[in-house]
């Protein structure tokens, strides 16, 4: 074999550290982008839900959570190319809301931090892992119960009229009741290649 010309040899040497040095943390810009998309999901959904609760009451707003929440997440996923969804500590939508292994771990961290006094507004958890050979950011933003969530996620006596019946029809395996304000309800979760 012919020896590599000196310039190519030098380039090959340079490429080694570049290739072996995979990104192990998200940059501040990547974290900001991720937080912004999470914030957009939560803000859009909460706006639509509040509007509908005023106009149609809780039982009439179940469709907002059922159809509009996944639509917003899908729209953002299309725009960014990231995986975006909401998961629950106890789940209502078994297909969309069940946490996978890393999401389950994330919920555990968020719950522990919430219990030790972390502020709900800023509570998040993230890690960079290698997925299909690429560094991938796993990010979870806590969703904490507020008083208005109780109408559809509270104990049986606190559910708004008509809600329990409608939930039984739409979500026969619903586990997402019996919550109190201030508890961790779930998280917005994002996976994105870096």
Binding residues (CB under 6 A) for ligand HEC: these are 58, 61-62, 65-66, 69-70, 86-88, 91-93, 96-97, 143, 145-146, 148-149, 151-153, 176, 185-186
Q: How far is the CB of 184 from ligand HEC (least distance, A)?
A: 9
- The answer to whether the CB of 160 falls within 8 A of the CB of 136 is no
Q: Which residue lies nearer to ligand HEC by CB, 92 or 138?
A: 92
- Between 128 and 160, name the residue whose CB sits nearer to ligand HEC: 160
Q: Which is nearer to ligand HEC, 23 or 98 (CB)?
A: 98
Task: Choose among 187, 72, 96, 91: nearest CA to 139.
Answer: 187
Q: Are 179 and 185 in contact (CB under 8 A)?
A: yes
Give the nearest distance from C-beta 90 to ligand HEC in angstroms: 7
Q: Which residues of 110-135 are buried (b: 16+ CB within 10 A; e: fewer)?
A: bbebbeeeeeeeebbbbbbeeeeeeb
* Shortest CB 193 distance to ligand HEC, Å: 24
Report, in Å, the least distance between residue 134 CB and ligand HEC.
28
How far is residue 2's CA from residue 151's CA, in Å, rounded to a whole number?
Answer: 76
The residues pairing with 190 across neighbouring beta strands, listed in sequence order, are 84, 139
Nearer to ligand HEC, 26 or 62 (CB): 62
User: Given CA atoms 128, 115, 99, 50 in this order, what sign does their dihedral have?
Assistant: negative
Closer residue to ligand HEC (CB): 30 or 148: 148
C-alpha 92/C-alpha 177 separation (Å) is: 8
Shortest distance (Å) from residue 89 CB to ligand HEC: 8
């Amino acid at each position: 074999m012919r020896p590599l010309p000196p310039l190519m040899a030098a380039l090959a040497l340079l490429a080694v550290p570049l290739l072996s040095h995979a990104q192990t943390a998200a940059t501040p810009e990547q974290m900001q982008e991720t937080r912004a998309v999470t914030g957009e999901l939560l803000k859009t959904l909460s706006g639509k839900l509040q509007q509908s609760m005023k106009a149609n009451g809780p039982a009439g707003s179940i469709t907002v959570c059922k159809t509009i929440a996944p639509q917003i997440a899908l729209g953002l996923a299309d725009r960014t190319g990231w995986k975006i969804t909401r998961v629950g500590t106890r789940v209502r939508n078994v297909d969309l809301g069940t946490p996978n292994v890393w999401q389950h771990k994330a919920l555990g961290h968020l719950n522990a931090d919430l219990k030790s006094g972390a502020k709900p507004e800023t509570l998040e958890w993230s890690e960079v892992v290698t997925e299909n050979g690429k560094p991938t950011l796993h990010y979870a933003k806590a969703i904490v119960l507020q008083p208005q969530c109780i109408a559809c996620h509270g104990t049986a006596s606190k559910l708004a009229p008509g809600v329990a019946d409608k939930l039984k029809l739409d979500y026969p395996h619903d586990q997402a009741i019996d919550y109190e304000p201030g508890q961790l309800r779930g998280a917005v979760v994002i996976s994105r290649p870096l």
